[in-house]
Amino acid sequence: MKTISEAQRKQILIAHDGRRKQAEAYFWHRVRKTRGCWIWTGCTNNGYGYIGRSKAHRRMYTMMIGPIPDGYHIHHTCGTKLCVKPVHLVAMSEQDHIDEHPGRGWW
Ligand SMILES: [Zn+2]
Ligand SMILES: [Zn+2]
């Protein structure tokens, strides 16, 4: 069996890491940090920030906090749809989220 050398293994790891860093750099480049919120400056749809087909604040949540349980919404405690600051994001069930915003749009 042919095994790769330690040097080759390192090269592969560096290449992987480079691609991940590039994707993250692309993401962070579109975040404008203010004193309060971190505002998404990339694509938007319906008032939400998007990165590719994902909502930017959901991407941030999975990147910085962890996986979002199935069917869960990410609620903005600051009320700013375009905000992606992890401490302003809370995962909640759809029903809890509806209760959180009686009679108005979700964000
Ligand atoms: Zn915010
Ligand atoms: Zn909400």
In a domain, 53, yes or no: yes
CA 84 / ligand 1 centre spacing (Å): 6
Per-residue pLDDT, 64: 95
pTM of the predicted model as reported, rounded to 2 decimal places: 0.80
Residue 35 lies in a domain: yes
**Residue 87 resides in a domain:** yes
Residue 106 lies in a domain: no
| Ligand 1 centre distance from Cα of residue 16 (Å) | 32
Q: What is the pLDDT of residues 36-83, one digit of tens each?
A: 999 999 999 999 999 999 999 999 999 999 999 999 999 999 999 999
At 94 the pLDDT is: 92
CA of 81 to the centre of ligand 1 (A): 8
Domain that holds residue 87: 6-100
Rounded to 5 degrees, φ, ψ at 60 are -60, -45
Q: How far is the CA of 29 from the centre of ligand 1 (A)?
A: 17
The answer as to whether 1 is a domain residue is: no
Q: In degrees rounded to 5, what are phi and psi of residue 90?
A: -130, 130
- On whether residue 105 sits in a domain, the answer given is no
Q: What is the CA(18)–ligand 2 centre distance, in A?
A: 35
Report the number of distinct structural domains present in the chain: 1
Alpha helices in 30-107 (DSSP H): 56-64, 94-100
- Whether 19 has a pLDDT exceeding 90, the answer reads no
Phi (first) and psi of residue 9, to 5 degrees: -60, -45
